[in-house]
Amino acid sequence: MLDNTELIKLSAREAVRLLKAGDVTPMEMVDAAAERIKFVDNYVNAIPTLCIDEAREQSNKLKVPEKTGPGWLAGLPIVVKDLNEIKGVLTTYGSKIFSDNIPLKDEISVSQLRRSGAIFIGKSNTPEFGAGANTFNEVFGKTLNPWDLSLTCGGSSGGSAVALATGMAWLATGSDLGGSLRTPASFCSIVGMRPSPGRVPHGPGRNPFQLLSVDGPMGRSVGDVALMLDAEVGKHPNDPISLETPLTSFQDAVDNPQVPYRIGFTRDLGIGPVDSEVADICASAAARFAEVGTIVEESKPDCNDILEIFQALRAALFVGVRGPLLEKHRKFLKPEMIWNIEKGMSQSIGDLSKAWVAQGALYQRLMEWFEDYDLLVLPTAITPPFDVNRRYLDQLDNHVFDNYIDWVYVSYIATLTSSPAISIPCGFTSNGLPVGIQLVGKPRAEAELLSYAAKFEEILNMGQHTPIDPFL
């Protein structure tokens, strides 16, 4: 029998195999997670809301269905981002406005995971309404990077990333609009995947037809992320853009990894600064694709207007989804939220029409680029983790960013083209800070992307470097 220390070091896939075989029980897994949380979370503040008692109750009631498909999690404890609603569990969205909000039912993404045999042990910290790439809020405070407690873990899925990096969970939910899932994956040396819109059903929300923000899986390996994606997918009647479950599982894709014929690597998409050490680490990692016969070239699609497109469409989304809060609760909103909503309100129909047309042109340019390349490869984040007391990265070298989110511009290409993207650990800076590399695939080609990512993970062969103790 494995002890708790051994259990928390298991991959999610290994843990599920043991659960399915009856070699470990869901209750034992919950107890292992609870012990680890008690030991670690005071240092990092990643899971401010716990539901351990509910998890134990859920463990006792869990029944294995007759057909345990590839997505069946068999009682694996997971962490849920505090933007996702769990029935009967405090869900604040990182806002004082909802500091005592207890949902009456699961949201769609949570219900999918519950039906897949997941057990929920807590809610991970997030910035207010997920806005911003540094995880802090006025309800629970700051979440700290376990690799250096003075630094940010990124955001907005920062709590989930830290929970994984420190072994408090085997899987965690994330969401991604402008790198909210990918940036913390890079900063914490775990794997995070932004799927195509509709691949993971979510909501219901005020704008169910929007294509910018998606839910996605986070884990410590590409295989673990594939497992979670298998558990999340499926058509749902309350999500009008949700897609059918693929005929072949995503785990099959990672178990039979393929080699891309040609990839294009770019340090910066040609539109902004990147820390030179980060760029060099990612360039060296991308070059290793050549070891398996892949042609590696410096190449990128034309992204000259990506900043303007993203800011216009994001601001419009904020007006629709969060706009009503500005009039009723302005004093509780952080300045960045107010700026984003007001930016959206100041736009004309002409401004939005121009952005939509430009987005369409960007998509076509990317599709033409993908005629010659299988993957777009670039840094996940333009910098290593920075001081947690900085609200956002306002400057890099001599470049001053115009607003609180333009520094995550390397994430915009996937968002604006509905392309899946995954962040994989690829190295460490000279002072030991994690660096992630981002692989962007063709729209709706998650299986292909995961297959290439698994091969890349194999090539890099970084070994198991998480979970870590944040105080060492």
Percentage, residues of the chain above pLDDT 70: 99
Percentage, residues of the chain above pLDDT 90: 96
In this prediction, residue 399 carries a pLDDT of 97
In this prediction, residue 472 carries a pLDDT of 74
From residue 89, give the alpha-carbon distance in Å to each of 35, 64, 115, 329, 370. Answer: 20, 24, 17, 23, 44
Domains parsed from the chain with CATH numbers: 4-460 (3.90.1300.10)
In this prediction, residue 68 carries a pLDDT of 73
Buried b (16+ CB within 10 A) or exposed e, 92-126: bbbbbbbeeeebeebbbbbbbbbebbbbbbbbbbb
Report the SS3 class of residue 175: strand
Question: Once rounded to an integer, what is the mean pLDDT over residues 205-224?
Answer: 96
Question: Once rounded to an integer, what is the mean pLDDT over residues 198-222?
Answer: 96
Query: What are the two backbone dihedrals, phi and then psi, of residue 30, each rounded to the nearest 5 degrees?
Result: -60, -45
61-83 residue pLDDT tens: 998 766 678 899 999 999 999 99
Question: Once rounded to an integer, what is the mean pLDDT over residues 387-409?
Answer: 97
> Would the pLDDT of 236 be above 80?
yes
In this prediction, residue 185 carries a pLDDT of 98
CA distance 287 to 244: 36
> Would the pLDDT of 21 be above 80?
yes
Is there a contact between 185 and 219 (Cβ–Cβ < 8 Å)? Answer: no
272-316 residue pLDDT tens: 999 999 999 999 999 999 999 999 999 999 999 999 999 999 999
User: pTM of the full predicted structure?
Assistant: 0.98
In this prediction, residue 471 carries a pLDDT of 82
> Would the pLDDT of 256 be above 80?
yes
Peptide bond into 204 cis (omega under 30): yes
Q: How confident is the model at residue 150 (pLDDT cuts 50, 70, 90)?
A: very high
In this prediction, residue 66 carries a pLDDT of 64
Residue 257 C-beta-side C-alpha neighbours within 13 Å = 16
CA-nearest of 82, 83, 98, 91 to 333 is: 98
- Report the Cα 404 to chain-centroid distance in Å: 19
**DSSP string across 104-145:** SS--HHHHHHHHTT-EEEEEE--SGGG-SSS-EETTTEEPEE
CA distance 37 to 457: 28
The set of catalytic residues is 81, 156, 180
399-449 residue pLDDT tens: 999 999 999 999 999 999 999 999 999 999 999 999 999 999 999 999 999
